[in-house]
A and B are shown apart, each in its own frame.
Chain A
Amino acid sequence: MKLVKLNNRLDSMNQGQKVQIVKIHTTGKLMHKLLDMGFVNGSSIEVIREAPLFDPMELKLHNYNISLRKSEARLIEISIV
């Protein structure tokens, strides 16, 4: 499944950008996990860096750091702050 890069998705953000979660486009287990880790609507996220091999990415959320694969970051719709 190759997806077109969307510019309102978390995976297309660059290092240092600050964004806010608008909506998470997923269901089930992944949704649960993301909610538990604090990916709730309205939270702000800062992109810290990409891994040396460009995937996954490191984010700052609720004042702690978390890593997320780009395939999952793509499911998070954001707006740039």
Chain B
Amino acid sequence: MTKIKVALAGQPNCGKSTIFNMVSGIEQHIANYPGVTVDKKTGFFKYDKHKIEMIDLPGTYSFSSYSLEERVTKEFIINEHPDVIVNVVDASNIKRNLYLTFQLLEIGMPVVVVLNMMDVAKRRGIDIDSQKISKMLGCPVIEASGAKGIGGDEIMKAIVDTTNAKSYYEEFKINYEELEPHIQAMEETIHDTTSSLNKRWLAIKVLEGDTTIIKHLKEEYFNIEKLAKKQEDKFHSLYDKDTVSFLATFRYDSADIIYHKTVKENNKGKETLTDKADKIILNRFLALPILFAIMFLVYELSIVYGYKLTDYTWPVLAAFKNFVIDMMPQANFTDIPMMTDFAIWMVNSANALANYIPIFFILFALIAIMEDVGYMPRMAFILDRIFKKFGLHGQSTLPLVLGGAMVGGCAVPGIMATKGIADDRARMATILTVPYMNCLAKVPFYTLLLGAFFKPDMALMMFFISTVTVFIALIVAKLLTSTVLQTRETAPFVMELPPYHLPTFKGVIIRASQRVWVYIYKVITIVLAVAIILFAMLQFPGLSDKSTKKYEQQSQKALETFNVKAQKSTYYFLVDTKDEVSELLNYYDGYRSKRMATTSKKGAIAIDKTYKKINENYFKFIKPRTDKEAKKINKILRKLSKQRNRILRNIKNEKVENSLLGMAGKSIEPITKYAGFDWKINVAFLSSFAARESAVATLGSLYENNKADSQRPEDAMAQNSGYTPLHATAIIIFMLLTPPCIATMIVVKMQTHSYKWMLFAIFFPVALGVLISSAVFTLGSIYSLSGVEAMAYFYFVIVIFALILGLYPDKNINWKGGIKLPIKAKGQYNIYEKSLKGGKIK
């Protein structure tokens, strides 16, 4: 069996991924190209005793050297030597697509052209003579429709046939007329290269100033750049043309020749469906309302309905938790083995994140649909003007919405959606501002604080909280793009608005599943690793001997009380030892937690049955019904359970206070006191780093009143913390800005490909948060403002600042050039070089 390596290339929107999905099925492997965030998808399939490995190259309009995707593509060709290049061409937009085809043919490797979307072309009345194209280009041309599943076999056959006929392959050449002598001179220079690539192609690329190829050849010819420039200058002085635009024009003209000889458009000038739809969707007055409606729909379907869906998936996770607890050694009254504690902690951390999987799946599926339909670039088109002002890009809309620009969201899918932003500076700025959006997991935290300190003004405060974030994000974006991100590469906003297409079900499901898998695989694994560290930091050094003794006495007392009272029941013989009591307690708690995890009546009956089976006597105490003697035990059992929980909570709090994390919280008090934070708040913030949900849990348990058990956490906090509403405002403002959770930080790392930016994404918001909340708290204390007043002042300052920045005229133009400059080939070359060097992509 022979192996064939195939590279799949094509322009964006040509339907390359539907062709890829059609031929390779679900056996796909995703990785990154070395060192960059561009996805590398590989598919494996068999055809006629041949093993075919197909690599889906990133979609590129051209093969020049300025974009990341194109650089990746070229490096792939240089290093991996595919046997065949399959070029997917959008049949309904053949002319521009052929521009790339010519560049691929020039590489000097066998090419198979796939005319995709033939059905769309036919519908639009475009007749294509594919045999003639095949003859003119000297390569097989296959008609296909990826969306309809037509042409898969023919493509595979063509790949195999082309590979088998490799020895008959004759080099493809374009006669570049007046440039020819210069190409030949260049070819002559590199005639003894060890590179196995086609020399003519290398020569042309060098003349084009292609940095990837120049780098490739520089080891052998150190002065290659100089030699190329010499040829370019010579060409320029002879014909007053520069090589780059000469080559582009020549290739476009060649594409034009093919187009005119093989394509007949019967409906030319007629309005297409896309034109009609765009008249409404991009209408000056309707565009924004439609955009908001679509965003609202996406939000509603994914976040709101997805959240409802978690009602059904949560019991599964809860069952998993109970299963793990059952496996672990049982507690002996207040003495819980650390192993069990640890298992519960880990399962809780995993479940907190796994709970979002339904939401993410819906969200990713909707994004895939919007991408396939072609709405994404239109969204960018509509909103670009606003975002441009703040250094962002039209394409930043979706990431910000997913992050929670409207009411709430999650930064993880938000940051993952930044992948498609072409402008590197705007993409970085978007990645770093998405975490400022309203995280859904922060909502319970706000509710707790608002319930405790702002009961009458809850609605107003919630309005401030949910709207101020967008303004903060815009200010931060402007700040970053004009400082640390200033030197990042920017891309001109030259964006295709492709025709609308119906998405394929298979494509959407594959993409959504792949993205969810990335989330599970990368995010959850690392979060668990950090959870272990946090657990250790909360456990050690543990309780002092004195406290251990104190809690032992308390436990003893509770048990004795139980013992005395239990004697009044005829069932006393069942619970007259500590081991028995402890077993009964565990039985009782286990039953309760399982019962709470089920919602159906059927499930409840099943649980009753299993527990009855485990121990029929104990079951009587849990559900005594009419048994008076059992009722007595039931009553004191419930009381004992409460007592036990209280002791456990106290132990936990004391442990936290003495723990490494508690010490850390205390050690930063000197800084945070300006914002009014004590060590307890600090610990809550530190522990919320693992997952924000834990902030509420930590605060809740730290402030719980030890006497009255029925008190709600917000009341407990209001009474026991000693905070004023102004404190609460400072805490809320800090929470608005920070802390980013680790899941988010991991995707920041994934998308920026740099630990440096990840650390920046942690410390910048924290610094900003401490600074602003300190300012608000300090000023608020001086002028004795109430919490709401302080929040209102903060809100208006932010809004006004954002408006000033937005209305301030743009000063910087992102690239060189303009009508004032007389153009010289030499100057152009230098500027081109500079703009490439300026943008470092790691």
Please tell me if the beta carbons of A1 and B835 are within 8 angstroms of each other in the complex. Answer: no
Inter-chain contacts of B249 with A (CB < 8 A)? 35, 40-41
Residue of A nearest to B62 (CB): A36
Q: Assess A72 versus B382: contact at CB under 8 Å? Given A41-B249, A58-B497.
A: no
Please measure, in the bound complex, the distance between the C-alpha atom of A35 and the C-alpha atom of B834, giving whole angstroms: 19
**Least CB distance, B126 to chain A, in whole angstroms:** 10
Contact A64 B96 (CB under 8 A): yes
User: Once the chains bind, are B282 and A71 in contact (CB under 8 Å)?
Assistant: no
Contact B385 A53 (CB under 8 A): yes
Which of B64, B388, B492 has the most C-beta atoms of chain A within 10 angstroms of its own C-beta? B492
CA distance A26 to B242 in the complex (A): 13
Contact A31 B828 (CB under 8 A): yes
Count of A-B contacts with CB under 8 A?
Answer: 154
Interface string of A1-41 (1 = CB under 8 A from B): 10100100000000000000000111111111111111011
What 1/0 flags go to B481-501 for Cβ under 8 Å of A? 000000000011111111000
Query: What is the CB-to-nearest-CB distance from A6 to chain B, in angstroms, rounded to a whole number?
Result: 8
Instruction: Point out the residues of chain B lying under 8 angstroms from A72, CB to CB.
Output: 492-494
Q: Does B353 sit at the interface, judged by CB under 8 A?
A: no
Task: List chain B residues, Cβ under 8 A from A74.
Answer: 819
Which chain B residues lie closer than 8 Å to A53 at the CB level? 382-383, 385-386
Instruction: Report the count of interface residues on B (CB-CB < 8 A).
Output: 54
Query: Which of A29, A40, A52, A65 is within 8 Å of B832, CB to CB?
Result: A29
CB-CB under 8 A for A33 and B494, given A28-B817, A67-B377: yes
A53-B386, A63-B93 known; A68+B493 contact, CB < 8 A:
yes
Most buried by A among B64, B93, B494, B831: B494
Smallest CB–CB gap between B128 and chain A, Å?
A: 13
Q: Is B384 touching A56 in the complex (CB atoms < 8 A)?
A: yes
Q: In the complex, A71→B490 CA distance in Å?
A: 14
Q: Evaluate whether A52 and B282 lie within 8 angstroms (CB atoms) in the complex, with A30-B492, A66-B497, A67-B497 already known.
A: yes
Q: Which residue of B lies closest to A25 (CB)?
A: B819
- In angstroms, Cα B817 to Cα A57, docked, is 20
List of A residues within 8 angstroms of B282 by Cβ: 49, 51-52, 58
| A32 in contact with B66 given A1-B813, A51-B381 (CB within 8 Å) | yes
Is B816 engaged at the interface, CB distance under 8 Å to the other chain? yes
Flag if A38 contacts B96 (CB, 8 Å). Answer: yes
Decide yes or no whether A80 CB sits under 8 A from chain B: no
Which residues of chain A come closer than 8 Å to B274, judged between CB atoms? 65
If A55-B384, A66-B497 touch, whether A25 touches B492 (CB-CB below 8 Å) is no
Task: Say yes or no: A66 contacts B496, CB within 8 Å.
Answer: yes
Specify which chain A residues have a CB less than 8 angstroms from the CB of B248 in the assembled complex: 35-36, 40
Give Cα distance in the complex from A51 to B274, angstroms: 16
For chain A, the bracket of interface size reads: 35 or more
Contacts of A71 in B (CB 8 A): 813
Determine whether B655 belongs to the interface, using a CB cutoff of 8 Å to chain A: no
Q: Which of B265, B385, B818 is in CB contact (< 8 Å) with A26?
A: B818
Task: Tell me the bound Cα distance from A52 to B282 in angstroms.
Answer: 7
Q: B64, A38: Cβ atoms under 8 Å? A: no
Which residue on A lies nearest to B250, using beta carbons?
A40
Report the stretch among B283-291, B445-453, B658-666 that lies at the interface.
B283-291
Check A56–B493 contact: CB distance below 8 A.
Answer: yes
Pick the contact of A67 from B62, B244, B381 — CB < 8 Å? B381
Do A68 and B494 touch (CB < 8 A)?
Answer: yes
B828 A33 Cβ-Cβ under 8 A: no
Q: What separation, in Å, do the CA atoms of A43 and B256 have in the docked complex?
A: 11
Given A26-B818, A64-B96, A36 contacting B831 (CB threshold 8 A): no
Q: Mark B52-71, 1 if CB is under 8 A from A, else 0.
A: 00000000011010100000
Compute how far the CA of A27 lies from the CA of B834 in the bound complex, rounded to whole angstroms: 12
- Which B residue's beta carbon lies closest to that of A57? B381
A65 → chain B closest CB, angstroms: 4
Task: Give the complex CA separation of A32 and B836 in angstroms.
Answer: 12
**Docked complex Cα distance between A56 and B377 (Å):** 12
Judging by beta carbons under 8 Å apart, are A28 and B96 in contact?
Answer: no
Chain A residues with CB under 8 Å of B819's CB are: 3, 6, 25, 74-75
B498 → A minimal CB distance (Å): 8
Contact A69 B831 (CB under 8 A): no
Task: Assess the B385–A40 pair: CB atoms within 8 A.
Answer: no
Cα-based distance from A71 to B491 in the complex (angstroms) = 13
Given the interface pairs A36-B64, A40-B249, A58-B497, the reply to whether A30 lies near B818 with Cβ below 8 Å is: no
- Please tell me if B252 contacts chain A, counting CB pairs below 8 Å: yes
Residue numbers in A under 8 Å from B817 (CB-CB): 25-28, 30-31, 75
Contacts of A33 in B (CB 8 A): 66, 491-492, 494
B496 near A52: Cβ-Cβ < 8 Å: no
Asked if residues B61 and A36 are in contact (CB atoms below 8 Å), the reply is yes
Q: List A contacts of B626 (CB < 8 A).
A: none
Q: Are B93 and A64 in contact (CB under 8 A)?
A: yes
Q: Once the chains bind, are A25 and B382 in contact (CB under 8 Å)?
A: no
Asked if A25 and B494 make an inter-chain contact with CB atoms under 8 angstroms apart, the answer reads no
Given A27-B823, A40-B252, A67 contacting B495 (CB threshold 8 A): yes
Say yes or no: is B323 at the interface (Cβ < 8 Å to chain A): no
Q: Measured between alpha carbons, how far is A38 from B816 in the docked complex, in Å? A: 20
Pick the most buried of A1, A49, A56: most chain B CB atoms within 10 A of its CB.
Answer: A56
Q: Confirm or deny: B245 has a beta carbon within 8 angstroms of a beta carbon on chain A.
A: yes
Q: Please pick, from A37, A41, A51, A65, the residue contacting B61 in the complex, using a CB distance under 8 A.
A: A37
Q: Which residue in chain A gives the minimum CB-CB distance to B838? A: A29
Q: Smallest distance from the beta carbon of B259 to chain A beta carbons, Å?
A: 9
Q: Which residues of B contact A26 (CB under 8 A)?
A: 815, 817-818
Chain B residues, Cβ within 8 Å of A63:
93, 95-96, 265
In the complex, which residues 320-379 of chain B have their Cβ closer than 8 Å to any Cβ of chain A? 377
**Chain B residues near A58 (CB, 8 Å)?**
282, 381, 497
Contact of B99 with A by CB under 8 A: yes
Roughly how many angstroms separate A55 CA and B287 CA in the complex, as a whole number? Answer: 13
Q: Enumerate chain B residues within 8 angstroms of A52, measured Cβ to Cβ.
A: 282-285, 287-288, 382
- Pick from A55, A64, A65, A69: contact of B492, CB below 8 A: A69
B73 CB, nearest partner CB in chain A, Å: 13
Q: A35–B815 contact, CB under 8 A?
A: no
CA distance A55 to B493 in the complex (A): 11
Instruction: Identify the closest chain B residue to A50 (Cβ).
Output: B284
Contact in complex: B818, A1 (CB < 8 Å): yes
Subset of 8 A-B contacts with CB under 8 Å: A26-B817, A35-B64, A36-B64, A40-B245, A52-B288, A58-B282, A63-B95, A67-B497
List residues of chain A with CB under 8 Å of any chain B CB.
1, 3, 6, 24-38, 40-41, 43, 48-56, 58, 62-69, 71-72, 74-75
User: Could you list 17 further interchain pairs (A-B, Cβ under 8 angstroms) beyond the known A29-B835, A43-B252?
Assistant: A26-B815, A27-B821, A28-B815, A28-B831, A29-B815, A30-B492, A31-B244, A32-B832, A33-B494, A35-B64, A37-B61, A52-B285, A63-B93, A65-B498, A67-B493, A69-B388, A75-B817
- What residues make up the interface of B, taking CB atoms closer than 8 Å to A? 61-62, 64, 66, 93, 95-96, 99, 244-245, 248-249, 252, 265, 274, 278, 282-285, 287-288, 377, 380-386, 388, 491-498, 813, 815-819, 821, 823, 827-828, 831-832, 834-836
The 10 closest A-B pairs by CB, nearest first: A36-B62, A35-B248, A26-B817, A53-B385, A28-B832, A65-B497, A52-B287, A27-B828, A28-B831, A40-B249
